[in-house]
Amino acid sequence: MKSKEELFVPSVERKTLSKQVLDRFVELLSSGQWKPGDKLPSEMELVEMLDVSRPVLREAMSALETLGVINRKTRSGTFLNEKIGNQPFSVMLALATENLPAIIEARMALELGLVTIAAEKITEEQLKQLKATIDAITQCTDNNYGEIDKQFHRLIALSANNPVVEGMIDSLLIAHDKMDRRIKIRERELTVEFHTKIYEALAKHDPFEAFTHMYGHLSYVRKKLLQQD
């Protein structure tokens, strides 16, 4: 890890300070100046580097810890987690509280890529688990199937079975939760129809068909959410 003197860190302007501290962390990670597993400078050094107060820094650090970017170890210091390849993206996604179109597009970018990989790699056991979620939604009588729906999409992401994009699943689920909370009326039969088409494409190991049906599903949800907003 580079010393404090070697790091290039633009100073933080006096507005939306905690968010800007998070932005600086993203820049340092993206530029390679900080790497997964690195020990961070002390609190005092970070305060000087970022030109912010301790309360602002602590607020940002708490957010980073919640998002799994950093890990504080008693008597050892604060470290960047080993698996944070996508965490700067998760940070930005978590902060995008009001920009619904951007959140939806972020989810589409993630999931459309993952479903094509999943089509090539998904196992019979994973297909069985996927079918079970469709059956559970079909049998849901109160339309309260948000968590089951999320499990369907999580299983697809996991079946991509790629350690490099593994961290993208957290970002996908953040986007899913943000969208799910906006849904006012659930359409169970339509959800089952979309999920079944995606499942059948995955069972045939057809990436193009899986992409097409996932796009149709997410595109419908996007239109629905933006219209009701």
R_g of the chain computed on alpha carbons: 20
Amino acid, single-letter form, for residue 53? S
Please check the confidence at residue 5 and state whether its pLDDT lies above 70. Answer: no
Same domain, 147 and 195: yes
Asked if 77 and 48 sit in the same domain, the reply is yes
Say if pTM beats, i.e. exceeds, 0.75: no
Q: Within the chain, what is the greatest distance between any pair of CA atoms?
A: 62
pLDDT digits over 164-192, tens only? 776 677 777 777 887 888 888 889 999 99
pLDDT at 101 over 80: yes
* CATH number for position 187: 1.20.120.530
163 & 105 share domain = yes
Q: Do 81 and 155 share a domain, yes or no?
A: no
pLDDT tens digit sequence for 47-92:
998 888 898 898 888 878 876 778 888 888 999 887 655 555 666 6
Q: Which of 175, 169, 217, 167 is nearest to 192 (CA)?
A: 217
> Could you tell me if residue 93 is inside a domain?
no
CB 122 within 8 A of CB 159: yes
Reply yes or no on whether the pLDDT at 14 is more than 50: no
Distances, alpha carbon 181 to alpha carbons 4, 162, 178, 209, 210, in Å: 42, 29, 6, 29, 26
pLDDT of residue 79: 92
Residue 203: is its pLDDT beyond 90? yes
Domain boundary among 88, 108, 134: 88
**Does the CA dihedral 115-192-126-222 come out positive or negative?**
positive
CA–CA separation, 217 and 199 (whole Å) = 12
Give the tokens for residue 71. Answer: 């890990």
How crowded is residue 160: how many other Cβ atoms within 10 Å of its Cβ?
A: 21
User: Residue 140's CB: how many other CB atoms inside 10 A?
Assistant: 16
Task: Report the candidate in 135, 221, 147, 155 with the shortest Cα–Cα distance to residue 182.
Answer: 221
Angle between helices 17-30 and 87-95 (to 10 degrees): 160
* Token code pair at residue 183: 């849904």
- Domain residues for 208? 98-228
What confidence tens digit (pLDDT) does each residue in 140-170 have?
Answer: 988 889 899 999 999 999 999 887 776 677 7
